[in-house]
Amino acid sequence: MIPRSRWGRLAAVALVLVGFAIIAVVQTAHQRPGTDFHARWLAGQWFRTGQSLYQYLPGEREPSYPPFATMVFQVFSWFPLRVAAAGFYFINLLLIPAAVILTRRIFRRLWPDPLASPWPLVWAFVLALQFFLNNLNLVQVNEALLVLCLWGVDAHLAGRDVEAAGTLVAAAFIKIIPAAFVAWLLLRGRPRARLAVFGFSLGCLALPMVQRGVPAGVEDLRTYYETFLGGFAGGVPAEYDRYTNQALGPAVHRLMRPPVAAGEWDYRVIPASEPVALDVYRALSLVIGLAVLIYLVLLRHRAAPVTVFEISALFLGEHLLSGITWHAHLVSLAFVYYGFLLRSPARMTTGRRAYRWVAIGLMAVTGLLGRDIAGNTIHHWIGGYSLVTWLMLYLLVGCLVRSWPSLRPRALAPAAT
């Protein structure tokens, strides 16, 4: 017989699942052509029926996913739009506790002290809650990518090399931003993991061609680069230069150039010409990219143990250097925030305590002062003046500094006498 306590737990889980299902159906009842999810649903249909994956239809979102991702999205295209959206919304709800569990598990492996209190983790997810809600409202894939990245990191830490490579490569081929974690695994992983990365990468390139044919598969890859990736070669396209885009490029552009998109506010603080703004963006991107790369190479060279701040630096670097970082992309900040909230002020120097409180203040302002609470003007100021961008840059510097002891040369053992 099943104990009563277990029956109670099963009933509670069933009640939660039913609640999630009701919420998913209600929240996706508005799905229609032109929404983010409809663009993925349609791309999956195009993939399945052999049509071009990168069409531009009036009223539709711009196609922006690699061929492997559209192959995955074809699963949705077998169902009516609202049914598919409700199903994926339900999955996104389940992915939130999965992200919490994986975050806690990684910190248990890497944090030097026992994780006694649950409150830092709770506050980390509360301060990042608006990003999760935005992801849910848009029925986006970013929670799935976060869970895949955390799963891959946890697998690497547990010595499951093939599993780590598979999850991280899958995330990168669904959306290119997690490629930073694939590069990290190549640098920090064991030889078996590196070999598995190349095997899974070839598989993700080949699988769409198996279904659509090699000529169509090659054309898909070429068109994907030309229509989406190539558009960022000369800076950030105007359609992505809105106040909600918290990537480094749009943040620099808004501070130095007048608005391009219709209806945008003017956020100029240091007016400059377009070439100067582009040069500043490129220089900052180069500094950040090189700083993170050199940091990882030094960690590998010193055979330093992985830390939570190393993982956080990857999340922050990929968001800053991406051409597009909408709020829905920033669900990974919950992991980053946890590391800074977990540190005990009593064991810090005065300077580090001041740094931590400034970080917490910026987390609170950007995480809690949404449009409904602070009003439309403050909401636009927070986004237009890129407070989330500068917070991410501030935390990235903190991650690099926090890991500095791991990069110092080891002291030589005293000579025998």
Say which amino acid occupies 43: A
Q: Is the pLDDT of residue 128 over 60?
A: yes
pLDDT in tens, 154-198: 999 999 999 999 999 999 999 988 999 999 999 999 999 999 999
Instruction: Give the pLDDT mean for 212-216.
Output: 88
pLDDT at 413 over 50: no
State mean pLDDT over 136-140.
93
pLDDT score of 347: 72
| Long-range contacts, 54-60 (Cβ 8 Å, 24+) | 54/220, 54/223, 54/224, 54/227, 54/228, 59/33, 59/34, 60/33, 60/34
Residue 412 pLDDT: 36
In the predicted structure, residue 345 carries a pLDDT above the cut 90: no
- Lookup: tokens for 83: 């049914």
Asked if the model's pLDDT at residue 360 lies above 60, the reply is yes
Model confidence band, residue 236 (pLDDT cutoffs 50, 70, 90): low
Overall average pLDDT of the 346-359 stretch: 84
Helix, strand counts (H, E) of the chain: 20, 0
> What whole-number distance in Å separates Cα of residue 212 and Cα of residue 210?
6
pLDDT at 410: 45
Pick the residue with more confidence: 269 or 231? 269
pTM over 0.85: yes
Give, in order, the Cα–Cα distances in Å from 173 to each of 9, 96, 154: 38, 22, 19
Q: What is the pLDDT of residue 404?
A: 66
Q: How far apart are CA 335 and CA 339, in angstroms?
A: 7
Mean pLDDT of 119-136: 95
pLDDT at 233: 56
The residue among 123, 170, 163, 125 whose CA lies nearest residue 144 is 170
Is residue 415 scored above 50 in pLDDT?
A: no
| pLDDT (0 to 100) of residue 240 | 65
Q: What is the mean pLDDT of the chain?
A: 88
Q: What is the C-alpha separation between 293 and 321, in angstroms, rounded?
A: 13
CB 99 within 8 A of CB 332: no
What's the pLDDT tens digit per position in 71-90? 999 999 999 999 999 999 99
Q: How far is CA 257 from CA 244, 270, 336, in A?
A: 16, 8, 31
User: pLDDT tens digit string along 20-73?
Assistant: 899 999 999 888 888 889 888 998 999 998 888 887 776 666 667 889 999 999
